[in-house]
Structure 1
Amino acid sequence: MVKIVRLEPIAQNTEVQTNSNLLSALLAEDLHVLKECGGRGMCATCHVYIKQGMDSLSKMGRREQRTLELITTAKPSSRLACQSRVLGEGIVVEVPAGMYLDAIEDVEALIGRRTEQPLLHPITGEVVVEAGKLVTRSVITELKDIRFQVGQYLARTREA
C-alpha cells in the first residue's frame, strides 16, 4: 500500500510504500541525503525533522535515540530517515536547508567562493558556512578530516 509523504521546504509530495523508510522517499526524489553508515542509524547524515505525523512512523529504537543525542541540531521532532518506517498517512518531513559538503563533486573548487546556500556539516548538519559567505581552505580541510575519522569508525563497527 502506498502512502503520501510531504517534503518541506520544497513543497513536494512523494509516494512511499508502507513500511519503507523515509530515506528511500528522499532518495527517490533525487534529494541529496548522505547515508554514511549505509542506513544503520549510526551516523545521522540522514537527519530530518518531522513537522507532522510522528505517530504515523515506526517507533524510535535505542540506536536511533543514541545517535540523535549526539547531534547538536536535534529537536524533539528529529528522526533519522533511514530508521523511520512509514506506517500511516499525514507525514510532513522537513529536510534541513542547505547543501552537505559531500554533495559537491569537487569540494576544492569552492575555496574562495561565496556560497549560494548554506553548507552543512556532513555529520551534525550544522551550518558550517552561511549563504553568501566565503568558503575557506581551513573549513574544507577540517571537514575532510572529520569525514575520514567517521569513515574509520564506521569501518571498525562493521567489522565488529
Structure 2
Amino acid sequence: MPIITVLPHAELCPAGASFDAASGTSICDALIAHDIAIEHACEKSCACTTCHVIVRQGFNSLVPSEEEEDDLLDKAWGLTSVSRLSCQALVANADLTVEIPKYTINHAREHYDKDWDV
C-alpha cells in the first residue's frame, strides 16, 4: 500500500504524519481518515479550492487533472506546478509527500467531523 507523508502544518498537522493509503482513495479522504482535518467546503465535489495540496513527491503517479480542476486551481492560494485539489487526486501505487498550504481562499474555517465525510 502506498504511504502518504504529510509535511508539518501549524494548525492541521503540527508534527507531520505518515500513513498507508489504499490505491484509488482520494488524498482528501485519506487525510480525513487519519484525523488531518483538511478543509473541503464543497463536500469534495470539485467546486472550491479549500482542499488544495502541493504534491512534493509522487506527483507524476497521479492521474492528470481535468480542466475543471485546473480552472479552480488557478484561484488557489500558493499555487505551484505540482498543486492538486486533494478531493480529485486519487492515490495510485506510488508513495506521496504532500504539503497543505498555510492559507486557503476560505474566509471562515468549517468544523468537520471525519465520521461525516468518509
Same fold (TM over 0.5): yes
1:48 is aligned to 53
Alignment length (residue pairs): 103
Aligned to 1:114: none
Identity of aligned residues (%): 27
Name structure 2 gaps, 5 residues minimum.
Answer: 9-14, 110-118
C-alpha distance 59-38 of structure 1, shift in aligned 2 (>3 A): same
Question: How does the TM-score come out when normalised to structure 2?
Answer: 0.77
Q: TM-score scaled to structure 1, two decimals?
A: 0.58
Q: CA–CA distance in 1 between the matches of 2:73 and 2:104?
A: 15
Whether 1:21 and 2:26 are equivalent positions in the alignment is yes
Q: Which has the higher contact order (CA 8 A, sep 6+)?
A: 2
Whether the aligned pair in 2 keeps the contact of 1:4 and 1:15 (CA below 8 Å) is yes
**Structure 1 residue aligned with 2:6:** 7
**Rounded Cα–Cα distance in structure 1 between residues aligned with 2:18 and 2:77:** 28
**Which residue in 2 is equivalent to 1:81?**
86
Is the CA contact 2:50–2:104 (under 8 Å) kept in the aligned structure 1? no
Unaligned segments of structure 1, at least 5 residues: 98-119, 124-142, 148-160
1:7-156, aligned counterparts within 5 Å? 7-9=6-8, 10-97=15-102, 120-123=103-106, 143=107
Which runs of 4 or more aligned residues in structure 1 lie more than 3 Å from their structure 2 counterparts after TM superposition? none
Structure number with larger C-alpha Rg:
1
